[in-house]
Homo-oligomer: A and B are copies of this chain.
Amino acid sequence: MIQEDMLITGQRSLADQIFELKLRGKLAANVSEPGQFVHIRVNGQSGSVAPILRRPISICSRDRAKEEITLIFRSGGLGTDLLKEAEPGERLDVLGPLGHGFPVRDIHDMKKAVVIGGGVGVPPLYGLSAELVKKGVSVLSILGFRSAKDVFYKKEFEELGETVIMTEDGTSGIRGRVTDVLDGMDFDVAYACGPLPMLKAVQRKVSDRPLYISMEQRMGCGIGACLACVVHTTDQNDSKGYRRVCSDGPVFRAGEVELC
């Protein structure tokens, strides 16, 4: 984990209020797992006036050769509205890579994986899918959005494997929720990232195979020191009784922590 003023190498709009940001720097080399995140200080001009708290954003993908990471974020709040104005050539104060991502090292016996994403939970699953495909795992992606205008990275996922787009209003892909299509699907392992109700629904559906979920919590430090981001363990006898999303997570094996 390092703090670095990374160089912005690209920023573009992907969908309604959704932006893709590319950052170059040494930090990229330190990324060890898909699903890790960075904690970004969004500065005002001159760096003299800025929102107090950093903003946690998942690493969508990492290009080791280019020393680049790609982030995808939704604007709409104070910090992300400033972030979307950041321009190539400027630098951004980034702390990362943080936390533990999706375990992809020892998945030799897995043949088929399904990744399930909702909204801005989709980005980290892209890096994950690419990694899995590289390891010879076939990946089915089920990506849920509110509406057609919110859909992003469809083509990118399709290049990696079968991809099902779902929208709540049916304006793109299949109408419904990601869990509507899970039944009877053939996979060895599942990975999910998205809003809490989605994670809960997925956890109910996928009880018989390994499932890894990525959690969100409001954060302070982002490195495990302030205990802003804790979640209870489901195991009442766990010696700590809690996990920190920022440093123990954000990815947990389903059942390790309470979803609430």
Chain A contact residues, CB within 8 Å of chain B? 43-46, 48-51, 78, 81-82, 85
The complex places the Cα of A88 from the Cα of B85 at a distance, in Å, of 17
Q: Which residues of B contact A51 (CB under 8 A)?
A: 49
Q: Do residues A49 and B50 form an inter-chain contact, with CB atoms below 8 A?
A: yes
- Sample of 11 A–B contacts (CB below 8 Å): A44-B44, A44-B45, A44-B82, A45-B45, A45-B82, A46-B85, A48-B78, A48-B81, A48-B82, A49-B50, A49-B82
Q: Which residues of B contact A49 (CB under 8 A)?
A: 44, 49-51, 78, 82
The complex places the Cα of A45 from the Cα of B50 at a distance, in Å, of 10
The complex places the Cα of A178 from the Cα of B207 at a distance, in Å, of 86
Q: Which residues of B contact A46 (CB under 8 A)?
A: 81-82, 85
Instruction: Identify which of A48, A51, A85 gathers the most chain B CB atoms within 10 Å of its CB.
Output: A48
Given A43-B45, A44-B82, 6 new contacts (CB under 8 A): A44-B44, A44-B49, A45-B85, A46-B81, A48-B82, A49-B50
The complex places the Cα of A78 from the Cα of B50 at a distance, in Å, of 12
The complex places the Cα of A44 from the Cα of B42 at a distance, in Å, of 11
The complex places the Cα of A256 from the Cα of B82 at a distance, in Å, of 48
The complex places the Cα of A49 from the Cα of B82 at a distance, in Å, of 9
The complex places the Cα of A213 from the Cα of B44 at a distance, in Å, of 37
The complex places the Cα of A51 from the Cα of B50 at a distance, in Å, of 11
The complex places the Cα of A45 from the Cα of B49 at a distance, in Å, of 9
The complex places the Cα of A78 from the Cα of B47 at a distance, in Å, of 10
* Shortest beta-carbon distance from A73 to chain B in Å: 15
The complex places the Cα of A48 from the Cα of B45 at a distance, in Å, of 11
The complex places the Cα of A43 from the Cα of B48 at a distance, in Å, of 11
* Shortest beta-carbon distance from A136 to chain B in Å: 45
Residue of B nearest to A81 (CB): B46
Instruction: Identify which of A43, A44, A81 gathers the most chain B CB atoms within 10 Å of its CB.
Output: A44
The complex places the Cα of A46 from the Cα of B80 at a distance, in Å, of 11
The complex places the Cα of A44 from the Cα of B48 at a distance, in Å, of 9
Q: Which residues of B contact A50 (CB under 8 A)?
A: 44, 49
Q: Which residues of B contact A43 (CB under 8 A)?
A: 45
* Shortest beta-carbon distance from A8 to chain B in Å: 13
